[in-house]
A and B are shown apart, each in its own frame.
Chain A
């Protein structure tokens, strides 16, 4: 699980081109959006695309559910672990 957390943190940094932020700066349980990493809706879009490509996920069109998955690195990792097809 910790490996997957790390993988997802790296995916976030690479996909979004975050500057001055290393995996150590991303708290696994902190919110990704709002006042945590401060990501915005465009970032969510890009991250969703990257996750689908990398893990073969299918993201639900139901936004409340998706929002839950995207709450933190921990919740994303749990979702990826359960739903990945590659």
Chain B
């Protein structure tokens, strides 16, 4: 009989909190979900569920019902608009959010379409791209993962994850592989670096993580020893820098296994130590061309052809050295511009610690740059001002770039924006350039116990300057207080509704283009947030904000 995703013979399928989901429970849930899908009577469904267990039930049930679900990366309004098919899972507003009604399982139907599902890239450059995968492609991936890594993972290890299953990496590693290989998966997503410390000590866990999460694990202050043992930690979805990798290795007492690949290509190679070359996944063939671009031939691809990747590499004795992305070329006014080159030039500047360049299509096509400034860069900005800093950076590029490739707009950030998969996408970067912003640019951020100090740049086109006042714009004091509250909630977890302001003082006006230091200190017991806003040797404002007790 056709079985879309044969399960291993394991007694516990998943863990929801501290409760195991036994195999027979899973099979019952799948049968109910399959019946619910039959009643729905749709030939196309969109599957989104925030809970990995429910997602797994809907996915297997969908396959048994002959459906090939579309799996979106999120359930945002624009995504819902773009996907008008029937939604299934906890994002659906129909009654089809559960599968309560018990029913007899009907025999599975082989899928009508050749593809088993459609999944989306996380959209590193521009819009997410839809990718179809057949059952055979998914099965090949999972079989290869077990061949490559299975021996390192005890059968009773549970799979815990910080990455969403709505993208390929999470879908394979936290759901499909465990189901096929007979390991239980943890249904809840680990939301914070600290969550890893709440994993139970009595059973080993395999951690499926993003570079974004591991970077934050590495940045954690002193942690007690980790209670759980982690026989394996996976990192995929983007590069993890070597120092964060090694810090995680020490903190988590486990090697961090990086898997190189993409939603389009599936897994390509892996390594267990950042100093190692990459070992190709079993069954994946690699070659490079004259421009060092890496090509692959793989059982995870839809066809039997060789495909070019967007990375450059060197192959030696079957091992892979990655040399960086192949040039990202954009065309500005008919000229070919290498974003890679602009980024490399900027990153080499002593005032800069990280740089991304992107094309903007506004009044004209132009290049923009988003930078994380070095400590020296932050100091220079505070001292010399924005226009002078822009000019210094532009002049560092003048000799090396065509004038058209010179960035015309700059944004400075404390860290590059990234999505849940740890990717810095052009969409996230582009959003920083929206006109008339309501918030300042956060140039640098330092955390203290119960406090934070941020360096803010107040852009001249800030929406709050509009009409306040036309001839001599001044930042309204209420806006500064609002920022303190917002950042207090975002960075310090201040809760409760606003109660009152105390000792509020506005000593000096803040004008467009100012660079100020905002210090926030939380006093949880008193439900108070103290703020000061300073610029070199002068105080702009200070005060205390009181919050009401949170009623739960």
Contacts and interface: CB of A to CB of B under 8 A. Distances in A.
Interface stretch (A4-12, A16-24, A53-61): A16-24
B403 interface: yes
Contact of B460 (A20, A33, A39, A42): A20
B403 A41 contact: yes
B195 interface: no
A35 interface: yes
Contacts, number: 43
B406 A22 contact: no
A25 B398 CA distance: 18
Nearest to B333: A42
Interface string B212-223: 000000000000
B387 A22 contact: yes
Interface magnitude class on chain B: 20 to 34
Contact of A35 (B364, B398, B402, B404): B398
Nearest to B395: A35
A38 B387 contact: no
A19 B364 CA distance: 14
Interface in B374-394: 386-387, 390-391, 394
B363 A39 contact: no
**Chain A interface extent, by class:** 10 to 19
B461 A42 contact: no
Contacts of A25: 387
Contacts of A42: 333, 364, 404
Chain A's interface: helix, strand, loop or mixed, by majority? Answer: loop
B398 A34 contact: yes
Given A19-B461, A21-B387, A38 B406 contact: yes
B387 A41 contact: no
Contacts of B391: 38
B390 A20 contact: yes
A58 B406 CA distance: 29
B409 A19 contact: yes
A20 B387 contact: yes
Interface string B352-364: 0000000000111
A39 B390 CA distance: 13
Contacts of B461: 19
Nearest to B433: A19
A18 B390 CA distance: 11
Interface in B454-482: 459-461
B521 to A, nearest CB: 31
Nearest to B364: A42
Interface in B406-463: 406, 408-410, 459-461
A46 B333 CA distance: 13
Contacts of B410: 19-20
Contacts of A18: 408
A40 interface: yes
Nearest to A21: B387
Contacts of A38: 391, 394-395, 398, 403, 406
A42 B410 CA distance: 19
Nearest to A38: B394
B449 to A, nearest CB: 35
Nearest to A39: B403
B543 interface: no
B231 interface: no
Contacts of A39: 403
A20 B395 CA distance: 16
Contacts of A17: 362-363
A18 B406 CA distance: 13
Residue of A20, A35, A42 most packed against chain B (CB within 10 A): A20
B128 interface: no
Taking each of B362, B390, B408, B459, which has the highest tally of chain A beta carbons within 10 Å of its own beta carbon?
B408
A51 to B, nearest CB: 17
A41 B386 contact: no
A40 B403 contact: yes
Nearest to A42: B333
A25 B395 CA distance: 15
Contacts of A40: 402-404, 406
Nearest to A22: B387
A7 B403 CA distance: 25
A20 B394 CA distance: 13
A18 B394 CA distance: 13
B513 interface: yes
Contacts of A35: 395, 398
A20 B400 CA distance: 23
A33 B390 contact: no
- Name which of A18, A39, A42 has the most chain B CB atoms within 10 A of its CB: A42
A34 B409 contact: no
B394 to A, nearest CB: 5
B364 A34 contact: no
Nearest to A26: B387
Q: Which of B386, B387, B513 counts the most chain A CB atoms within 10 A? A: B387
B512 to A, nearest CB: 9
A79 B406 CA distance: 28
Contacts of B362: 17
Interface of A: 17-22, 25, 33-35, 38-42, 46
In the A-B complex, the 8 residue pairs with the smallest Cβ-Cβ separation, listed nearest first, are A40-B403, A25-B387, A20-B386, A40-B404, A35-B398, A38-B394, A42-B333, A17-B363
Interface of B: 333, 362-364, 386-387, 390-391, 394-395, 398, 402-404, 406, 408-410, 459-461, 513
8 contacts: A20-B390, A20-B410, A34-B398, A39-B403, A40-B402, A40-B404, A40-B406, A46-B364
Given A17-B363, A21-B390, A40-B403, 16 more contacts: A17-B362, A19-B408, A19-B409, A19-B410, A20-B410, A20-B459, A25-B387, A33-B403, A34-B403, A35-B398, A38-B403, A38-B406, A40-B402, A41-B404, A42-B333, A42-B404
